[in-house]
Amino acid sequence: MSQDSHSSSKPFYRYFFSTDHKVIGLLYTITALFFLLCGFMLMLVMRWQLAFPGSPIPFLGHILSPALAPNGVMTPDFYNALGAMHGTIMVFLGIVPLGVGGFGNYVLPLQIGAEDMAFPRLNLASYWFFLLGGLLMLSSFIMPGGAAQSGWTSYPPLAIINPGQTVWLFAMVMLITSSLLGAVNFLVTSFNMRALGMKLSRLPIFVWAQIVTAFLLLLAFPPLEAASVLQLMDRIAHTSFYLPQGLVILGMRHIASGGGQPLLWQHLFWFLAHPEVYVLLLPAMGIVSEILANNTRKPIHGYNVIVGSMIAIGILAFVVWAHHMFISGMSAVLSDFFLVTTMIISVPSVAILTSFVFSLRGGSIRFTTPMLFALAFLPMFGIGGLTGLPLGLTVTDIYLHDTYYIIGHFHYIVVPGSLLALMGGVYYWFPKWFGRKMNDTLGKWHFWTSLICMNGIFFPMFIQGLAGQDRRYYDPMAALHSVPTQPLHVVSSVFAGLLFLAQIPFIYNFFHSIRHGEKTDDNPWQATTLDWACPSPPPHGNFTKPIRVYHGPYEYSPVGHKTDWVPQNEEVLA
């Protein structure tokens, strides 16, 4: 299937049109890191307006066109566009492609002992749909009408009458296509391409996380695709799927026929977007399990509990979506149902976190750079998860909904949670990608500064939210009750700027170490899984010898063995 890859000698074709899962995985990783940086910079611009409302943006204010920022002060429309694009880019172009497209593509075939993905050419197509969709999304800033302004959730009727949304929808359909191709590929690979002896019960937890993630993508994304097509019809063919009868906009009666339901979009959107939350989280959890087992030198605690909980999350993720809609005017009976399912889905998440904490007990912990990231994930995900409970209960949600409390909550899950774990994954698998290690000192600086800054950004938001500050306001001084907590925006903004500086050692370290990092052998972490049983970097076809798996993934510190780890492909004679 993949004999044609790598045959071209031209570098452009070798890197951008290779069907090798490792090249595609690295392309995904680097592209996603680039998009993450873009999304982060949009937020830095927004943070200026929040910290110093109405004052000209330094440097950038003079470069931006007067339509976006007259006299250097951003307009409310531009602020809205930045917010919508920040959310969209971070979720659909940053974290998900990094966790699934990047790590999944590179590591999953290695960990199951496959020579490539099941459909290498579909894999390449998936990357190109992602790249073009992403560039289309970014380019909407320079198109007539500008970028989408209706939040990453794109609620109608606002999304249908605002400019910029059409490009967002087209880009979205491309990104969804990319995800669907990837999901089919991951599932077929995991089920059909495993090495001899690699039973499902011997799969590393990272692979299980990717399988559950792929099922979520496969089954949750099509409803959003359909919903996006319907919204596109509303914008282009002037249908009224999401427009009610007799809609009045700025005192004018809207010409569309009406008869649609705005709430329908919210249901369809969250039917995807709640499983999407777990798509952001599960690959990170998979990475954390690998790093924890490796650096505690003992088997992960409760393999069955973790895998079972991940599957439970995968199923329950489809029946909790409307907890995002408690104050939307939806029936109160429905609210009760979704309150109960939301409380139930917190159980498997807690089970996973507890297993991770127990995994530390009695281990001989090595505080390597990736381990620091994985350890930090535990309390950060804990804070993010626990602060979510008041949002899942209708009584408290009515007060907290649409305040900065929500922003603090989900950013704790995704940024010091998922993103830290993913960065730990970069440090962990870097020796596999390039045969060299990233610099430890720079890595530790990157870790501590990032961790402190992330908390500095997001913790003040809990206080602001509890004080009732609204999340979508362009000018926080516009509402009297948010004036007392407005100075906390300055704290967040300063830490956001520092977080940007904290990424410089990471970027330098990454590109410098590709050529000049300390050389490592094939298995520098002394790990057990199959990704470390092939050369670093692996050649085309991955394994230089036939692979056979004899036992589970985390055989660390076995009694009476000469080393404190037994690779999965090493037979142990009892």
Partner 1 sequence: MSSSTATLVHQPGESTGVTNAKLGIWLFLASEIMLFSTLFTTYIVLRLGAASWPRGWDVLNVPLGMLNTFVLITSSVTMVMAYAKAHDRDLKGFQRYISLTIFLAFVFLIVKGFEWDAHFRHNEFPSTSIFHAVYFTLTGLHGLHVIGGIIVNSGLLYLSRTDFDHPLFVGRVEGAGLYWHFVDIVWIFLFPALYLL
Rounded Cα gap, residues 421 and 424, in angstroms: 5
Q: Give the three-class secondary structure for 362.
A: coil
Rounded Cα gap, residues 275 and 217, in angstroms: 8
Here the tokens at position 287 are 């990475």
In the complex, the smallest distance separating the C-beta of residue 16 from partner 1, rounded to whole angstroms, is: 22
Q: Which of 484, 481, 277 is nearest to 399 (CA)?
A: 481
Q: Which is nearer to partner 1, 249 or 347 (CB)?
A: 249
# chain residues binding partner 1, by CB under 8 A: 52
In the complex, the smallest distance separating the C-beta of residue 316 from partner 1, rounded to whole angstroms, is: 17
Here the tokens at position 46 are 């927004």
In the complex, the smallest distance separating the C-beta of residue 289 from partner 1, rounded to whole angstroms, is: 23
In the complex, the smallest distance separating the C-beta of residue 561 from partner 1, rounded to whole angstroms, is: 27
Task: Please state whether beta strands 518-519 and 252-253 pair in parallel, antiparallel, or not at all (unpaired).
Answer: unpaired
Rounded Cα gap, residues 282 and 375, in angstroms: 16
Here the tokens at position 384 are 């993010």
x/- letters, 519..558, toward partner 1 (CB under 8 A): ---------------------xxxxxxx------------
Q: Which is nearer to partner 1, 37 or 187 (CB)?
A: 187
Q: Which is nearer to partner 1, 191 or 511 (CB)?
A: 191
Task: Please list the alpha-helical segments (H only) found in 318-416.
Answer: 332-360, 369-386, 389-392, 394-400, 404-412
Q: Name residue, tokens 């951008």.
A: 16
Q: Does 258 bind partner 1 (CB under 8 A)?
A: yes
In the complex, the smallest distance separating the C-beta of residue 220 from partner 1, rounded to whole angstroms, is: 8
CB 516 within 8 A of CB 438: no
In the complex, the smallest distance separating the C-beta of residue 245 from partner 1, rounded to whole angstroms, is: 7
Sign of the alpha-carbon dihedral angle for 48, 54, 55, 57: positive
Q: Which of 14, 80, 92 is nearest to 45 (CA)?
A: 80
Sign of the alpha-carbon dihedral angle for 541, 545, 550, 555: negative
**Candidate residues 45, 138, 209, 268; the one interacting with partner 1 per rule CB under 8 A:** 268
Q: Supply the DSSP symbol for 561.
A: -
Phi, psi (degrees; rounded to nearest 5) at 196: -55, 130
**Candidate residues 238, 253, 481, 519; the one interacting with partner 1 per rule CB under 8 A:** 238
**Candidate residues 240, 387, 513, 568; the one interacting with partner 1 per rule CB under 8 A:** 240
**Candidate residues 142, 237, 332, 574; the one interacting with partner 1 per rule CB under 8 A:** 237
In the complex, the smallest distance separating the C-beta of residue 172 from partner 1, rounded to whole angstroms, is: 14
Rounded Cα gap, residues 81 and 427, in angstroms: 34
Q: Which is nearer to partner 1, 112 or 414 (CB)?
A: 112
Contacting partner 1 within 212-231 (CB under 8 A): 218-223, 225-227, 229-230
**Candidate residues 99, 102, 260, 465; the one interacting with partner 1 per rule CB under 8 A:** 260
Contacting partner 1 within 131-190 (CB under 8 A): 180, 183-185, 187-188
In the complex, the smallest distance separating the C-beta of residue 335 from partner 1, rounded to whole angstroms, is: 18
Interface contacts to partner 1, rule CB under 8 A: 1-3, 115, 118-119, 180, 183-185, 187-188, 191-194, 196, 200, 218-223, 225-227, 229-230, 233, 237-241, 245, 256-261, 264, 268, 271, 540-546
